[in-house]
Amino acid sequence: MDLVESTEMTLKIPEWLDEKFIHACLEDGKKNGEVTVKSYETSTVAPPGNGFLSLLVRVKVKYQKKNSEDVQNLSLVVKGPLGEMSSFYETEPKFYKMFMSSALEISPDIRFAPKTYFSPVPGVIVLEDLKSECYLMAEKNEMLDYAHCRLYAIASATFHAVAVAVHEKYPTLVQSLGSEKFFSNEPSSVGIRRLFVGGLRHLAKKMKDFEEYKKYADIIHSSSTAIWNMTVDVLKPNATFNSLTQGDPWVTNMMFKYDSSRKPVEVKLLDFQGLRYSSPVVDLIFFIWSSPKHEVREKRLTDFYRVYCDTLNDKLEDYNCSERFSYEQLMEAVKRLSCKALFVASTSFPIMMCQKNIDAGTLCLEECDERKFTGAFDQYYDHDYCKNHLPKLLKQLDTLEVFENVITQLGLEKQ
C-alpha cells in the first residue's frame, strides 16, 4: 500500500482512505447519490506495538442525506493489514462478511461483535466506532473482575452457540474460517512455537526459585517441546463438541459499556483474525489465564464456567441446534486443555501484564537471537511481576492441578 502522512505523527493513512472510500461506506457501495460527505478527519485508534497486528484508523465523518439540511456525525474504525496482504488477514473480512451475515439470519438479536459497514477495498473492514457508543477498553494491567468476566462468558457462549448453528448450515464456511493459524508444526508456525516454548522454559527456570514448585520445574523445562506437540494435538477438532472460537480473547480484544455507577453492562468482542474450529473451551482457557484478576481464578471459576455452560445450552436451544454441552464435558475439556493453560500462563499473561512497550512480535522472528529473547522475557518477568503476580499464578496453576494434569498426560512422573 502507498501511504500518506496524516496530521498525527504516529499514524500513516493509506491513499485509498479518502472521501470516495468514505462515500462508498455510507452508501453501502450503491453509488446512488443519497449521501454527501461534508468533511472527515482521521486519528489513530491505538499506539503502535499494542498487539493488534493491524492498521487501525478512526474516521470521524460529517455528512448529509439527500433532501435534508441536517448535518449528521458518524465515527468509524477502519481496520486493514499493516503491510502486504497475507492469508492471515483474509480471515476477519470473511468472518464479518459471510459468517456474521449468516449468524444474523439465525438471530437478528446477536450483539457480541461490532456492526460493520460496506468496504470498497478487499481485506479492509469498516466497523462502528464503539468508543463513540460509550464502550471502553479495560486497562490490561488492572485485569478484569468477575462482573466483567461474567459478561465475557455470556458473549462467548452466544458466539460459540451461533457458530454451531451456522456450521450446521454452512460447514465448509466455518471450517475454512477455523483452520489452524498458530499452533501447528508447519513452517508458518515456527515463530509462534519459538515464542511459546521459550516462554514456558522461562517460567520453568523461575519456578526453581520456589521450593514448592521445584518438583515440576525440570520436567516442564525438558518437556517443553513435547508439551507444544501435545497442545497442537489437543487444539484440533475433537469427538465431543466443537465450534468456531475467537482464538485470543484477552483484555485488549474486547470493549465494555458501563452504567452510571461504573458497573459493566455490555461487552463487544474484537479481533477475529485468529479463529479456530475446535473445542469452545479453548477460548475460555485463553481468557481465564490471561485476563481476570487473581481472585477470579481463585474463587469464581465455578461460577464463570456455570454461567458459560448455561448460556451456551440456552442459546443452542434458541438457535434450534440439536447439540448440547454438559458441565461435566466442559470440565473434562478444561482438564484436557491444561497444556494450553500452561502456555498462556507462562507467555501470554506476563506479556499482558508488562507495562513496558516490548513488541512480542519481534521475538517470533528468526533473526531474534537467544540473548535478545532471554532479555525480553527477563523484562516480562521483572521484579514487579515476580513479586506481585508470579507467586499467585503458580499457586493457581498448582491448586487447579494444571501441572499434575500436564505431567500425567505426558506419561511422566515428578522429579
Residue 405, C-alpha cell as written in the block:
494434569
Question: In the CATH hierarchy, which fold is given to the domain comprising 131-410?
Answer: Aminoglycoside 3'-phosphotransferase; Chain: A, domain 2 (3.90.1200)
Q: 48 or 112, which is more confident?
A: 112
What are the residue ranges spanned by the domains of the chain?
1-84, 131-410
pLDDT tens per residue across span 141-172: 889 999 999 999 999 999 999 999 999 999 99
pLDDT band at 5 (very low <50, low <70, confident <90, very high): very low
Mean of pLDDT values over 366-381:
77
Indicate if the pLDDT at residue 2 is higher than 50: no
Q: How much is the pLDDT for 50?
A: 53
Q: Cβ(245)–Cβ(280) under 8 Å?
A: yes
Dist CA 404 CA 213 (whole Å): 11
Indicate if the pLDDT at residue 367 is higher than 90: no
Dist CA 400 CA 378 (whole Å): 26
Dist CA 333 CA 328 (whole Å): 9
Q: How much is the pLDDT for 6?
A: 43
Mean of pLDDT values over 9-37:
86
Q: Cβ(1)–Cβ(14) under 8 Å?
A: yes
pLDDT tens per residue across span 27-57: 988 877 789 999 999 998 875 545 456 789 9
Sign of torsion, CA 312 313 318 319? positive
- Strand spans (E) along 320-359: none
Dist CA 280 CA 258 (whole Å): 27
Q: Cβ(16)–Cβ(59) under 8 Å?
A: no
Mean of pLDDT values over 293-304:
98
Q: How much is the pLDDT for 229?
A: 97
Dist CA 89 CA 93 (whole Å): 8
Indicate if the pLDDT at residue 414 is higher than 60: no
pLDDT mean across residues, the chain: 91
Lowest-confidence segment of 74-83, 90-99, 216-225, 263-272 by average pLDDT: 74-83
